[in-house]
């Protein structure tokens, strides 16, 4: 979920009460407008959208890691998720996934502010909240980074480093793709299944690949992906 801004100084006593009011208003808005999310980030989904299916955590098998470059522009610099298209293109290539689906997922996940201080304020209210422009939870990040060049990075860095968030999301999608069966009983494309896996978890993704009907939350996420698909394609084609 893209758009974090420069870190705010919340340590000044005079600014603390307005900050609490602002954070309360913002998080109330998140709760009211989740754009089809049954939770607030990858790595925390339960099986509420595919009846009786068990939830599954992210898995990360051994593979070549991507080199973590210098941090990109601070999230929320004013251009929305499009400003990260170059990093999306680079890390998607290294992870062997379609950059357009990664870009479209960033658009899907861009339903709440991503100022680093706001994210941390929300996390204090909801300890299992997601971090970063790609909305990733700690368990998913920690599992995805194993054996990769960003293995020494911490989940707590995601709000301040959009490039790390993009890199982790790319490899998470790589790991999801490795779990997909070659033969599927569904008309959904691989990119659609990966996006659904990102939103609902690997267990539900595999169920959808077997032909299980999408529930309303998963269908809403897929509808938003379709809405964002053309813009995501333009972004990655225009990236250097």
**pLDDT, the chain, mean:** 77
Which of helix, strand or coil describes residue 136? strand
The confidence band for 128, taking pLDDT boundaries of 50, 70 and 90, is confident
Q: How many CB atoms lie within 10 A of CB 230?
A: 11
Query: Taken in order 111, 117, 119, 121, is the CA torsion positive or negative?
Result: negative
Pairwise CA distance, residues 223 & 36, whole Å = 9
pLDDT tens-digit series, residues 15-52? 333 444 444 444 455 444 444 443 444 554 433 344 33
User: Which domains occur in the chain, in start order?
Assistant: 13-238 (1.10.530)
What is the reported pLDDT for 67? 29
CB 58 within 8 A of CB 135: no
What is the reported pLDDT for 212? 98
Contacts of 213 by beta carbon, 8 Å cutoff, 6+ apart: none
Q: What are phi and psi of 179, to 5 degrees?
A: -90, -15
The confidence band for 71, taking pLDDT boundaries of 50, 70 and 90, is very low
Which of helix, strand or coil describes residue 145? coil
Structure tokens at 234: 């333009």
Q: What predicted TM-score, i.e. pTM, was given to this entire model?
A: 0.72
Query: Taken in order 44, 230, 79, 173, is the CA torsion positive or negative?
Result: positive
Q: Is it the case that residue 79 has pLDDT exceeding 70?
A: no
Which of helix, strand or coil describes residue 62? coil
Buried b (16+ CB within 10 A) or exposed e, 40-77: bbbbbbebebbeebeebebebeeeebbebeeebebbbe
pLDDT tens-digit series, residues 152-169? 999 999 999 999 999 999
Buried b (16+ CB within 10 A) or exposed e, 152-186: ebebebbbbbbbbbbbbbbbbbbbbbebbeeebee
């Amino acid at each position: 979920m893209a758009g974090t801004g420069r870190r705010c100084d919340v340590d000044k006593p005079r600014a603390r009460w307005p900050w609490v009011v602002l954070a309360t208003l913002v998080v109330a808005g998140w709760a009211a407008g989740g754009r089809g999310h049954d939770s607030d980030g990858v790595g925390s989904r339960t099986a509420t959208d595919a009846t009786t299916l068990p939830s599954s955590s992210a898995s990360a098998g051994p593979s070549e890691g991507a080199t973590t470059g210098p941090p990109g522009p601070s999230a929320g610099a004013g251009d929305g998720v499009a400003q990260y298209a170059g990093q999306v293109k680079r890390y998607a290539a290294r992870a062997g996934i379609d950059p357009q689906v990664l870009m479209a997922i960033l658009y899907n996940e861009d339903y709440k502010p991503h100022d680093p201080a706001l994210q941390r304020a929300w996390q204090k209210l909801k300890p299992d909240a997601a971090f970063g422009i790609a909305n990733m939870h700690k368990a998913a990040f920690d599992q995805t980074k194993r054996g990769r060049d960003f293995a020494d990075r911490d989940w707590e860095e995601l709000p301040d480093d959009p490039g790390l968030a993009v890199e982790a999301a790319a490899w998470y999608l790589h790991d999801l793709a490795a779990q997909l069966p070659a033969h599927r009983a569904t008309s959904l494309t691989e990119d659609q299944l990966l996006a659904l896996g990102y939103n609902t978890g690997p267990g539900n993704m595999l169920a959808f690949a077997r032909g299980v009907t999408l529930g309303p939350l998963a269908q809403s996420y897929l509808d938003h992906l379709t809405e964002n698909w053309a813009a995501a394609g333009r972004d990655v084609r225009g990236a250097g």
